[in-house]
Amino acid sequence: VKPAFVLFALAAVLSARGVTPRENIAALKELLAIPSVSTNIAETDRAVLWMRDYLTARGVWCVVETSSVDGRKVLYAATKPGLKNPDYTLVTHLDVVAGKPEQFEPFEKDGRLYARGACDTKGNAFGAALTLVRLNGKGSVGCLFSANEEIGGSSTKHLVDLGYGVPGKAVIVLDASDMPLNIGIACKGCSYYRVTAVGKAGHSSSPWKCENPIYILAEAALKIRDRYPHQKPGEYGNSAAVTIIGGGDAQNKIPGTAEMTVNVRFTDKEDGIERNRKLIEEITGLKTETIRGTYAAVSDPSAPEIRRVQALRRERYPEFPNNLVKGNGANDSRYFGQFGKPMMSSAMRHSGGHADEEWLEIADLEHFVDYLTDVCQCVEASAR
Ligand SMILES: [Zn+2]
């Protein structure tokens, strides 16, 4: 066998998954090197502007808006100038969780690219950018590049409130923290409540003259444990947890009030935040206020778009089960439930989100963009 033939055969195998061009890897490394930790607005701004410049240089229409919440920049880009309501809305993010300084020095090893954000989720965001470049002027695709997904995604909400990314056919969330074995089609609503117990303060040497709010609160916490309709194993339902509890400011004084935070994860489609507030208030008998919350986004697994994407995914990633799964956590699809379109997650081959060893598979980047291009062009699995 001639060496040239061996090389040719090897190239053929690699190209079955697409060969990721070196300039794409170099560009992604630049993006990964920006320490855009969610709380560091100067750096998330830098990542947003890097992405805008990358896309603008390739002719993709971009808008940078300033969040009304904290003044950070956030990016929307689309395959046609002014396209605010595309057929396919991609949702991803450019912020990352904190990492060791060396995690912002990307390096390659054994076909993997290691860096903070390689998995969660700049690798996926860069895949979205390459898809926009490929479909520029042809497809109907828009992408929201959130700048603070890891701390609630208010910048995503800001873009949605301004009317960017209203989906015509489906929402594809490009985000993951681990190898994407399955397709997420639901995220739960997430709400936080402040529950306050009011007693009667006094000196702790004579507790009989007081009414201790800490005891009232402790009993309320146990009522939540025992009476909140918890989800059973295997069921996709609501759950509640007391997460912070506090009260008192002196060692020898019974305080007048005590309060706790309750976190509820729910699947209720509408009014879930208020419904669960009332439920907590009913169960505890105590004043319950909403601190903040986001709604559930649960898609119908039989929606044709979801079936089509699942079939495409199975064709492109046959090594994974690619089942339709419902997640217990929240992601930025939380802001799109209001549009009533199918929503699903997608991601490239990678792992280690939020961990010290975070990486993506270099050869999969181009392959992932091929898959994403098919998704956004309405390609059916069998027609490829
Ligand atoms: Zn993420």
d(CA 91, CA 145): 6
What value does the mean pLDDT take over residues 87-99? 97
Full strand arrangement of the beta sheet holding 257-266: 239-247, 257-266, 189-198, 287-294
pLDDT for the residue numbered 7 = 58
β 324-326/73-78 pair status: unpaired
358-384 pLDDT, tens digit each: 999 999 999 999 999 999 999 998 754
Ligand 1 centre from 203 Cα, in Å? 49
At residue 286 the predicted structure's pLDDT band, cuts being 50, 70 and 90, is: very high
Q: Which residues contact 95 (CB under 8 A, 6 or more apart)?
A: 36, 37, 38, 44, 47, 146, 147, 148, 149, 150, 151
Share of the chain above pLDDT 90, in %: 84
Strand residue runs (E) in 136-274: 141-146, 170-174, 183-187, 189-198, 202-203, 239-247, 253-254, 257-266
Ligand 1 centre from 173 Cα, in Å? 10
Ligand 1 centre from 120 Cα, in Å? 4
Ligand 1 centre from 176 Cα, in Å? 5
Ligand 1 centre from 119 Cα, in Å? 8
Ligand 1 centre from 8 Cα, in Å? 38
pLDDT for the residue numbered 383 = 53
Ligand 1 centre from 354 Cα, in Å? 9
Ligand 1 centre from 220 Cα, in Å? 34
Ligand 1 centre from 319 Cα, in Å? 23
What value does the mean pLDDT take over residues 245-256? 96
190-213 pLDDT, tens digit each: 999 999 999 999 999 999 999 999
pLDDT for the residue numbered 3 = 58
d(CA 218, CA 130): 53
pLDDT for the residue numbered 368 = 97
Residue 269 corresponds to which amino acid? K
Ligand 1 centre from 146 Cα, in Å? 10
- Scanning the structure block, which residue is given the tokens 């879930």? 272
Selected residue with higher pLDDT from 18 and 219: 219
Which helix (H) or strand (E) segment holds residue 360: the answer is strand 359-361
Q: Quote the distance between the C-alpha of residue 378 and its chain's center.
A: 24
Within 10 Å of residue 255's Cβ, how many Cβ atoms? 21
Helices (H) and strands (E) in the chain, counts: 9, 19
307-354 pLDDT, tens digit each: 999 999 999 999 999 999 998 888 888 899 889 999 999 999 999 999
Residue 296 contacts residue 272 (beta carbons within 8 Å): yes
Mean pLDDT of the chain: 93
12-21 pLDDT, tens digit each: 544 556 688 9
| Helical packing angle, 122-135 and 41-57, nearest 10° | 30
Residue 128 has pLDDT above 90, yes or no: yes
d(CA 44, CA 123): 16
Residue 38 corresponds to which amino acid? S
Ligand 1 centre from 186 Cα, in Å? 15
Ligand 1 centre from 270 Cα, in Å? 25
Ligand 1 centre from 96 Cα, in Å? 7
Ligand 1 centre from 202 Cα, in Å? 48
Ligand 1 centre from 317 Cα, in Å? 21
Selected residue with higher pLDDT from 84 and 3: 84
d(CA 51, CA 303): 33
For 13, the token pair is: 């195998």
Residue 294 contacts residue 227 (beta carbons within 8 Å): no
d(CA 21, CA 282): 59
What is the gyration radius of the CA atoms in the chain, in angstroms? 24
Ligand 1 centre from 198 Cα, in Å? 40
293-306 pLDDT, tens digit each: 988 999 999 999 99
Ligand 1 centre from 124 Cα, in Å? 9
pLDDT for the residue numbered 177 = 86
